[in-house]
Amino acid sequence: MKNEDLIKQEAQRLGFLQCGISKADFLEEEAPRLEQWLNSNMHGQMSYMANHFDKRLDPRKLVDGAKSIITVLLNYYPSETQKDPEAPKISKYAYGADYHHVIKGKLRELVNFINEEIGEVGGRAFVDSAPVMDKAWAAKAGLGWIGKNSNLLNSKAGSFFFIGELILDIELEPDGPTTDHCGTCTACIDACPTEAIIQPYVVDGSKCISYFTIELKDAIPPSMKGQFDNWAFGCDVCQDVCPWNRFSKPHAEPQFNPHPDMLDMTKQDWEELTEDVFKKVFQKSAVKRTKFSGLKRNIEFLKP
């Protein structure tokens, strides 16, 4: 078997949805787009987005001798969602254990496999924690196309998946990109509660509900009152309405299963949330990013 096939087979064994390969190179097309997005201040208070501009566009500045990027997708689509339709909503990606740890563990296993079966490699694993343009590399590796909501869309699996990378110093044969299949559809643009998708393929991050409920550390602007569609942490609207997500299938990763109490929490349970319950229910979840005080702020903001 070719090295590329061995790697993809092992990625599948580790539970990854898909795996693709691209050449570690300068992201020529993305450079002007990123610059314009930052200059328009669409990153709001996410100042880290403006850091390491050169590294963000060239993985060889992150990893010495980088030649190839292996990109993996890990499904997180849940089999069940929150039961009370009146309850404040949590983005599906935060139902279970924090994805950073889950994917990092699997990527380490993949590196060990490559070292044993193919030969010693140098490189690093990345999961949304360094200046790496995940979606751009996933698209280059043929794992989908970047949709009008700026998410990576896959024609077989929709978009409810995480992205991770191995940037390595070995030559691997790259996969080619796929084509865009959004067509004339504007479902995500029409449904966005805060009109954050300001034009096809451009999202103003500073208008996104995920930004207000996770990234923003200050008080939520009163002008946003009544526009959050009951989202208390993150937002899935542009994914929920995307026709490609009719192909989403429930994940098989036990670590992504929610705390048993979370799905049963009523509107009242959320509004009366204590720090002890917060620590118990979200012990391993990405919801901890907002801290208890942040989640309480968001829940209070949702009240009429």
Q: Could you list the active site residues?
A: 128
Given CA atoms 52, 54, 58, 62 in this order, what sign does their dihedral have? negative
Per DSSP, 111 falls in state H
Q: Is 83 exposed, middle or buried (0-12, 13-18, 19+ CB in 10 A)?
A: exposed
| Residues 153, 159: Cα–Cα separation, whole Å | 5
Cα angle vertex 292, ends 288, 297, to 5°? 115
Query: Is the distance from CB of 303 to CB of 226 less than 8 angstroms?
Result: no
Per DSSP, 120 falls in state -
Q: Which residues pair with 72 in a beta bridge?
A: 19, 164
Given CA atoms 125, 129, 131, 133 in this order, what sign does their dihedral have? positive
| Residues 294, 220: Cα–Cα separation, whole Å | 10
State the Cα torsion 84-88-91-92 to the nearest 10°.
-20
Query: Is the distance from CB of 157 to CB of 17 less than 8 angstroms?
Result: yes
Q: Which candidate, 128, 299, 302, 149, places its Cα nearest to that of 239? A: 149
